[in-house]
Structure 1
Amino acid sequence: MLSFKKVLTLVAVFAALTCFFYLGLSKLADKKLPKSNDRTSKINQSEKKRKKTQVKLVALGDSLTQGVGDTTQNGGYVYLVKQVLEKRLDATVVTENYGKAGDRSDQIMKRLQQQETQQNALKKANVITMTVGGNDLMQTLQKNFNSLSSNQLASFMPTAQRTYSHKLDELLRTIRSYNSHAPIFLYTVYNPFYVYFPALTQLQKYTEQWNMIAQQKTAKNKNVYVVNVEKRLSEGQYYDHGSTLKETTVTDYNNLSGQKLSKILSNQKEKNNYLSPADHFHPNLKGYKYMAAKLYQVMIKHKEKWLKEGG
């Protein structure tokens, strides 16, 4: 996703919302054991190694896959879900992270088509994860920023949604050309400015519509599953209290000048405690932990698709 400095510049010039949318087993060797027991021990070790769960996870996408906003700089949800899988499944987990900040769906596909390392990684994967769509949505809003406040953007969105749906189809087909069997876990996008402008229902409506496209792919494409993080990452600690937030918020977009808006968004204290105060846009460590937890929940529901002993 775009850096906040670039987003802030757009906000200052075009007012508020052009910046929308867009975080082995040790060897046992006891030579003192009797030979008979030593042979039994070796057999038991061999059985354990055969039963050890093997998970090869390849992550594709934008800045949320790259892990922008994760202060530990370990790689966001990709690193965190690896820890969860290894702990809860006693698994050997290998991850490869191909996230790149700012990439739209077509750019993610282009990198995949051009990079043999990604292609080879996908061929060996038994789990594929992806964050995509936020930058596509942002591009649409930037191109039509003059229409947002007057609600005329509704006339442009159907075409934009069809274009994105087509690009996402192409991306999924490209992934399947390298791996036809591994389940794909596709994250939803979210509205990072919801807690600042909850009264701007157009933003949330378009976010939800964008996510409907991802939902549609689960019906159209076999073995594709949505990981829904929209509401929690949009609403943060105000989750399920949107009506109260709308009544109490004082940051009304319509009454803010560009200067006042810049001051609000440059505040080093983030109002949404699941997002990074560095840019008010990407998840912080808490946000990425939530993303990893949700991914694990969905993965376990479909574990028969990827969880194989000794796989």
Structure 2
Amino acid sequence: MRFRLWRSSRQLWVMIGFTSLCATILLLYGFGFAAYTLLHPTAGPKHSAAAPARTKPAAVLADAGEIKITAIGDSLTKGTGDPSGDGYVKQLMRGLQEETGKPVRLVNNLGIGGQQTAQLEQRLHSNGYQYALKQANLIVLTIGGNDLFRAAREAMNGKTDSEQALTAIHKRLPDGLAHMKAILHTIRQTNPEAEVVYMGLYNPFYDIPRLKNGSLQVSEWNSEVYKLLQADDHMLMVPVYDLFEDRIGSYLSSDHFHPNHDGYGKMAERIIQSLSVEGA
């Protein structure tokens, strides 16, 4: 009798342990899936849930009679790769005016081809940048790609091998992120109220097998910058990684690095979607 009771108890505890293990695995899977979805949203049509959603329109833009944009950063902000010269900035202006019915004015586009985070950090203190930042109620920013991908471009052109390139990308992350933190701090010190939108990085070499793993560094960069932005209610990251990974041949220009006109258009749509300016 005692043996049967002990055996039954043992079976019961085994069943409880197995059930607990399954529940734990399910919980971890759900958490991992939620985190991945947040950092790598699926591509979707305009006004889908692909970009980070806000429950209310961006307050600064909702109350403004005019949307005033200052664009800073690298060649993506400059619009390199778009033969029309529109880039994402001019397409964003047209889209915002259409969505809000408000006048949209470009204070200045200070995008510089090849610019890295350390260079932008220094330039933000110049009089021209300070003036442009103070005049805006919407600041859009692309930076970081040149910090990470210079080595990858050399590998693609045969100047170095892929393993060296991926190692170099990983080594550049800490310095780039430190400069990124300083950039965001300076922007907010200069203009305490503007909405600040940072365009997340994408891997333009995703379709090249030996450089595909560069996506791991891109994901790490985006994740760390996302954490920096979360400290400010009026700063956000717009993810575009999935756009270029899913349709890299459709949205990249012939240089295999910069977006083409359609790619920039998708970036502009994501910004509008993320700001949730409908009805503002």
TM-score of the two chains, using structure 2 as the length reference: 0.68
Instruction: For 1:236 and 1:52, locate their aligned partners in 2 and report how far apart those are by CA, in whole Å.
Output: 36
Is 1:235 the counterpart of 2:243? The answer is no
Q: Distance in 1 between matches of 2:148 and 2:180?
A: 12
Residue 283 of structure 1: how far off its partner (Å): 0.5
Corresponding position of 2:220: 209
Q: Partners of 2:276 and 2:180 in 1: how far apart?
A: 25
In the alignment, which residue of structure 2 is the partner of 1:131? Answer: 142
**2:163 is aligned with what amino acid?**
S
Per-residue deviation at 1:111?
A: 2.0
> Which position in structure 2 is the counterpart of 1:64?
76
Report the residue type matching 1:281 in the other structure.
Answer: F
Contact 1:186–1:226 (8 Å) recurs in 2: yes
Counterpart position of 2:98:
87
The secondary structure found in structure 2 opposite 1:59 is: strand
Match of 1:110 in 2: 122
Does residue 297 (structure 1) correspond to residue 268 (structure 2)? The answer is: no
SS in 1 for 2:230: helix
- Correspondence for 1:276: 253
Distance 1:52 1:200, change over 3 A: closer
Q: Is the 8 A contact 2:151 2:165 kept in 1?
A: no
Q: Deviations over 1:141-168 (max 9, x none)?
A: 58998674279829x82x5322222110
User: Is the 1:188–1:230 contact (alpha carbons within 8 Å) kept by the matching residues of 2?
Assistant: yes
Is 1:193 aligned to residue 205 of structure 2?
yes
Cα distance in 2 for residues equivalent to 1:52 and 1:204: 38
Report the secondary structure of 1:194's partner residue. Answer: coil
**Alpha-carbon distance between aligned partners in 2 of 1:297 and 1:284, rounded to the nearest angstrom:** 20
User: Aligned partners of 1:236, 1:93: CA distance in 2, in Å?
Assistant: 30
The equivalences for 1:1-311 within 5 A come to: 53-74=65-86, 76-95=87-106, 96-114=108-126, 116-139=127-150, 148-149=162-163, 153=167, 157=170, 160-195=172-207, 197-198=208-209, 200-236=211-247, 272-277=249-254, 279-300=255-276
- Quick check: 2:75–2:114 contact (8 Å CA) kept in 1? yes
Contact 1:56/1:126 (CA < 8 Å) preserved in 2?
A: yes
1:183 partner letter: E
Q: Residue in 2 aligned with 1:253?
A: none
Give unpaired runs (5+ residues) of structure 2.
Answer: 1-62
CA distance in 2, matches of 1:88, 1:221: 25
Go from structure 1 to structure 2 and tell me whether the alpha carbon gap of 1:217 and 1:143 turns closer, same or farther (over 3 Å shift): farther
Q: Is the 8 A contact 2:166 2:214 kept in 1?
A: no
Amino acid corresponding to residue 86 of structure 1 in structure 2: Q
| SS in structure 2 of the partner of residue 281 of structure 1 | coil
SS at match of 1:193: coil
The DSSP-based 3-state class of the residue aligned with 2:81 is coil
In structure 2, what is the Cα distance between the partners aligned to 1:141 and 1:274? 19
The AA in structure 1 aligned to 2:142 is T
Query: CA–CA distance in 2 between the matches of 1:87 and 1:109?
Result: 33
Q: Is the 8 A contact 2:199 2:239 kept in 1?
A: yes
Q: CA deviation at 1:178?
A: 1.2
CA contact 1:151–1:202 (8 Å) conserved in 2: no
> What RMSD over aligned residues (CA atoms) do the two structures have, in Å?
2.8
Q: Secondary structure at the match of 1:225?
A: strand
1:26-73 Cα offsets, whole Å, 9 max, x none, are xxxxxxxxxxxxxxxxxxxxxxxxx98310111110000000011111
1:177 Cα deviation from its structure 2 partner = 2.1
What is the SS of the residue equivalent to 2:105? strand
For these two proteins, the number of residue pairs brought into alignment is: 214
What is the CA distance between 1:192 and its match in structure 2? Answer: 1.1
Deviations along 1:119-176, one digit per CA (max 9) or x if unpaired, are: 112112111110011011124658998674279829x82x532222211011111112
Consecutive unaligned residues of structure 1, counting only runs of 5 or more, are 1-50, 238-271
Cα distance in 2 for residues equivalent to 1:142 and 1:117: 31
Within 2, Cα distance between the matches of 1:190 and 1:152?
15
**Residues 103/175 of structure 1: CA separation in 2 closer, same or farther (3 Å cut):** same
